[in-house]
Amino acid sequence: MEELGGDKKWADRFLAQHTAVLYYWVVIVLYFLNPSISYNLSEQIEKHAYETYDKFLKEAGDDLRKLPAPAIAKEYYEDKTYMFDDFQSCREPGTRRPVIRNLYDVFFNIRNDEAEHFKTMIEAQDELYAQDNAYRLT
């Protein structure tokens, strides 16, 4: 997003950075109080992010296909990958290797990343539920 100009305004950077820090600490506190609520909050945020990117792709898809992908996106998804699919709960590591041809592909893959995060949060809640029920049965 920075390469597309998202870092140009001081207020945008300030809001994004401070919101991320606040969210981090809210999730930490919630996790200590009730891990399931923490995972559920993250699930809802990831679900909203997925839906937002999906709507954006449907509305701006034709225009996005005409624009080049930022170099950092090609590097992230095609070259270095930063182990982005090594910690998935719903697929085998190394099975997702996106191709980035244009800006549409970038947002398409960001949207799909949000879906993977969403599924991981559901999986985490399911595991907590199973552990809780196993504890109650013993």
Q: What are the angstrom distances between the C-alpha of 9 and each of 2, 6, 23, 38, 71?
A: 10, 7, 21, 31, 21
Structure tokens at 86: 């090594």
One-letter identity of residue 85? D
pLDDT of 134: 56
Spell out the domain ranges in the chain.
35-137
The per-residue pLDDT for range 56-94, each reduced to its tens digit, is 999 999 999 999 999 988 988 888 766 666 666 666 766
The per-residue pLDDT for range 96-126, each reduced to its tens digit, is 778 899 999 999 999 998 998 888 898 888 8
